[in-house]
Structure 1
Amino acid sequence: MSLPGDKTEDQCLRCRRSGRQCIPAPTRPEEVTFRHGQNPSLRPSGPPRYGESDLVFPTDQVWVPLPTQVSFEDETDRTAADYRVVSLGGSPLDLKHAPENSPSTPNGALQPSSASRSLHSPNIRDPSRARPAPRLAFPHIPFPPTDFASTQKLRSFNEAFLLRHFRKTLGPWLDVCDNRSHFSANVAERAPSYPLLLYACLAISARHLYHTNNAVSPETADEYHERCIEILKSVIENRDFGIGIDILLTSTVILRFFEQISSHSPSNDRQNHLYAGSVFISSQLDCAVSGGLAEASFWVFVMQDIQLALMRQRPLRLTLGPFAKKLYQAWQHRTNQDDRDWTHRAVWLLAETINYCYGAKDLAHVDPVEGNSLRQRVSAWETMKPDTFRPLHYSMPDPGSGRPFPFIWFDNSLQAAAIQHISMAKALFQQHELQASKSMVQFREATRMLEDEIKYNLGLIFGIALSADNDPALRIMAGHTLCACGTWISDPLAQACLLDLLRRTEAENGWPWAFVVQKLIQDWQQISR
């Protein structure tokens, strides 16, 4: 056949070679294939893009009107009648009696049989018969089944609900100094595989929900807590229970969290899990710098120890000396320190300051801290901190508008918590110096300066907590600051704002502050007389 491209000869090259008569192909007008990429209505303005044709419709183009109603005809039956199944072996292919490795069975879904591969091949030819290629039917290949019922992590809806509450609400609370979200992400993911960790999460979630909206009975939290105690007893007795140190430390700090929100007064806080945590952590010094869940749990425990120390105005239970050497070496050799490292340093400086200020009057305290070097480290943190710790916004106090403390916003809770801890360290240091200089008459001017600095640093802590949008960790830090330094608040407006903050923290976040509220009211009434 002479193709349109063979214009110089009477016969095409193929016909000359085969000796066949060449029949000229019918001429067709030149056609332009329509593609959406050449639709003028879809073309962007300007010259054609690289590789794009410049085909446009003429200005006098006549367009076919679109009918208002369109009817559709179902041709499925007629189309299906044109198809027939051809057997390669002389018998029809019966899917009901397919072999086990047939793609119609789940086991063979990803491994098609040779027969099915032949049916799919476009190059099948039967040399014994000259007939056109048939239209073939394809066997049904199902997707692998999804069986969520047998693969779920927790079969109990109530337990799944409690663990979900931990991940969404309580985990971020514990992650206030950890921007890697170990508690809200890693703990919730691993808990279903470790009964001790799971029951600890369920216990704290049940207790928190009982305090905030009375959605769970108190007996539910107690039951999960008792299960944790039974497992911990086995761990202590056997010494080799198959529980990693990261799971053990994480479960312990969560159970300490459970103790904290379950104690409505300091006398009710039995501190059992705080004591257990100090024993576990003291036997694993590397957990402070090991990374992962163990290191995250270490820092949560340090903050929990700080909270009790401020509440009781005594040194920390944890012996800091062995950890300080490892931490300062790690910080010194870590060239690229992020906000998390700087926040941990602020927490550690507050822990050292507490031991320095409260350790002198505690005869049982054997973890001395040198005051001058500590002051230098606090000052160095303040002067060398990254620009990321600059506040997003700062407004001076405005008592006339009912705002006795500054309004402070930071980019995230990590930075806000760091400033709270370093401000508390400075306030305690200044308070300690003030007590030492009160007997010296010649230092009266310095005394007034120290008092102003103490009030300023305390105001930062309270301002951060009041400015935050319901951030439990920042609120609770303000509450423990009041336990240690509440007598410095003498302004009635400031007192009212802080009492309201404590009450809202108890109602909205489930932290029991009623005892502290009553004590502050009594102390402030005595001071005002």
Structure 2
Amino acid sequence: MCSLVCRARRVKCMENVFHDVHNLLNGFVGDEVKPVCGPCRKKRRPCGWQPCGITMREYRPNAVSNATEVEGADCEDVGGDGISRPDVSSPYHLQPPNFHHASPLITSPDALSDTLSATYPTVRTPLQQQLSYPEAALVHHYAQHLGRWLDCTDALRQFTLRIPVLVKQSPLLLHAVLSFGARHCGDAETADQAYHCCLSLLIERLGLSSATHDDALLCAIVILRVFEQLNVPVATGSDHEQHLAGCSAILRASQGQTIDPSAPTLREAAFWVYVRQCLYNASINQQPPNLDVNIRLHPAASTFQFADPLATLKGETAWANNMTWLCASVVQFCFGGGADAHLELSGRLHRWRELWNDVQQWSNDRPTTFDPIWAGPAGNDHIFPRALFAADWHVMAFGFFNFACLLLLTYKPAPRFAVRNLGGNLRETDHRILDHARAICGSCEGSPATVPALITLCHSVFIWGPLMTDAVERQGVLRLLTNFEDAHVWPTTWIANALREEWGMQAQIVHNS
């Protein structure tokens, strides 16, 4: 992807796209700002961009397309939204998408005319387009395995059920899904090409006045965020959060001062995915989450009636997201964010009691469906107390509840030493913290296919890991992390090595980065 000016001058400018995406996401949403590459910005010359295209090598589609070639270009333009396909034998490498009359996702009748005229001037109707088989294979892989990662607190399963349908209307969503699916399948080249093409489409959409109300845009950003989390170096876990800050700016503008915990639309569902992504980075780095915890949940979870199947699903979602939001508020308090950072000791203790009571109240009032269908102590066949749940959102709520409790126990306002010498002796509070940590580990053992629960384990271990002294339990945690990476390609080697270093064990040698 290169600006027309830079291409004519034979100057490479791809490495500057991330700077423009970051600026657009953080401060220029809805201002009709067009991207400017680094070289053109430095020389103060006009910068012309063309839509993302695809590199055509040996493969040529049999179907007739309206694509046109640009002389000297790096790629061919297929409806303005194609991606490059490398000449390799992998079944997951993509064929050119056939978007003759592709339309962006329309989120409201009022936005229909403006959105279509601004983005696709010749489009008459938002026709759904047929995917090629390799594309469909990746979308199917997403629907079967990856949508569940994003739907973990959404009983309506909107990212699993709706996104695979909407990709036929939205090239932006298609490329986000393809990048995620290809990366999970181990096809790094295809994943990177789809990712860069999605960035190009993202830049174009951010310039529209409807950006803050564009469900496809919001969903694509949180999907790209998961791709970035999967793409970190396995040795260091270094993560620059290229889209997380910008996602916050857009989502804050789109949600206002209230958010529906039942997530009735994709816009709300994307917001809750973003909240969980914030918790991951905040916990690992022990910093406040990039959230406005003053946003009010409305309607309250307690007001939902379980009168029919649809109402039950909405109520279950509301209760799960209620716990997610309580956990985010606890993380904000513990890591010194927002108004909590300026409270005196007495004020912080009062706020601590409020949060503790809120968390315990949720546990007392939650529907009985959130109880484990079976629970038992640690035994010969499992290291940690085992808990089995009926649904992903039950596992997630259980994990966030225990995470919130152990955080509050760890960061209860009180005089304390800056550095502790455990010397093998744990306080009563430490034992309570470890009980909650063991509950998280046990729920992950019982639900190994619930990836977000294992993600909670990954970031929570940075809080309680140093307290774990039992050698068998340590090996159990390391095994959970290793199995997680092996089964789901989530990078955990760096977390396991950080634990080994903390525990005085030899780190695992990593050969790739």
Q: 1:472 aligns with which of 437, 440, 451?
A: 451
1: CA distance, partners of 2:131 / 2:203: 27
Could you tell me which runs of 5 or more consecutive residues in structure 1 were left unpaired when the two chains were aligned. 1-149, 211-215, 440-446
2:374 aligns to what?
Answer: 393
Instruction: State the shift of 1:433 in Å.
Output: 2.0
* 1:193 alignment partner, SS class: coil
TM-score, normalized by length of structure 1? 0.63
Q: Give the structure with higher Rg (CA).
A: 1
Indicate how the Cα distance of structure 1 residues 239 and 172 shifts in structure 2: closer, same or farther if over 3 A, else same: same
Equivalent residue for 1:224, pick from 194, 203, 219: 194
Q: Output one character per residue of 1:466-495: Cα deviation in whole Å (capped at 9) or x when no partner.
A: 121432222222122113321122111111
1:305 corresponds, among 267, 273, 278, to 278
Change (3 A) 1:449 1:301: same
Q: Are 2:287 and 1:314 equivalent residues in the alignment?
A: yes
The answer for the alignment partner of 2:321 in structure 1 is: 344
Find the counterpart in structure 1 of residue 250 from structure 2. Answer: 280
Alignment match, 2:503: 524
The match for 1:264 is 233
Cα distance in 2, alignment partners of residues 220 and 292 from structure 1: 30
Q: Which SS does the other structure have where 2:504 is aligned?
A: helix
Matched, 1:183 2:164: no
What is the aligned-residue RMSD (CA, Å)? 2.8
Match of 2:218 among 249, 252, 257: 249
What is the match of residue 85 of structure 1? none
**CA–CA distance in 1 between the matches of 2:252 and 2:300?**
18
Q: Percent identity?
A: 25
Within the alignment, does 1:207 sit opposite 2:177 as a pair? no
Tell me which of the two structures has the higher relative contact order, counting C-alpha pairs closer than 8 angstroms and 6 or more residues apart: 2
Contact map agreement 2:448 2:454 (CA 8 A) in 1: no
Partner of residue 19, structure 2: none
User: Matches of 1:333 and 1:403 in 2, distance apart?
Assistant: 39
Displaced runs of 4 or more, over 6 A:
362-369
Distance (Å, rounded) in 1 between the aligned partners of 2:505 and 2:128? 59
Spell out, residue by residue over 1:272-304, the C-alpha distance to the aligned partner (whole angstroms, 9 max, x if none).
111121011111125832621111111111001
Aligned counterparts of 1:349 and 1:320: Cα–Cα separation in 2:
9
Cα distance between partner residues in 1 of 2:197 and 2:269:
24
Q: Could you tell me which amino acid in structure 2 is paired with residue 412 of structure 1?
A: A
TM-aligned CA distance change 1:297 to 1:435, over 3 Å? same
Task: Give a deviation string over 1:160-188, Cα, whole Å, max 9, x none.
Answer: 11111111110012111111110110111
CA distance in 1, matches of 2:457, 2:372: 18
- Contact 2:324 / 2:400 at 8 angstroms: preserved in 1? yes
The answer to whether the aligner puts 1:419 opposite 2:398 as a matched pair is: yes
Cα 1:236–1:435 change in 2 (3 A) is same
Distance apart, 1:513 and its partner CA: 0.7
Aligned length: 358
C-alpha contact 1:343 1:415 (8 A) present in aligned 2? yes
Change (3 A) 1:366 1:295: farther
Contact preservation (8 Å) 1:288, 1:299 = no
Query: What pairs with 1:74-223 in structure 2 (closer than 5 Å)?
Result: 153-210=129-186, 216=187, 218-223=188-193
Conserved 8 A contact 1:394-1:406: yes
Amino acid at match of 2:484: T
Per-residue CA deviation, residues 337-374 of structure 1 (Å, 9 max, x unaligned), is: 722111111111110011111116x9996899832221
CA offset digits 1:5-34 (Å, max 9, x no partner): xxxxxxxxxxxxxxxxxxxxxxxxxxxxxx
Structure-2 residue corresponding to 1:75? none
Counterpart mapping for 1:315-394 below 5 A: 315-321=288-294, 323=295, 325=296, 327=297, 330-331=300-301, 333-334=303-304, 338-359=315-336, 370-394=351-375
Where does structure 2 lack aligned partners over 5 or more consecutive residues?
1-100, 102-126, 307-313, 419-425, 507-513
TM-score by length of 2: 0.65
In structure 1, how many angstroms separate the alpha carbons of the residues matched to 2:131 and 2:210?
29
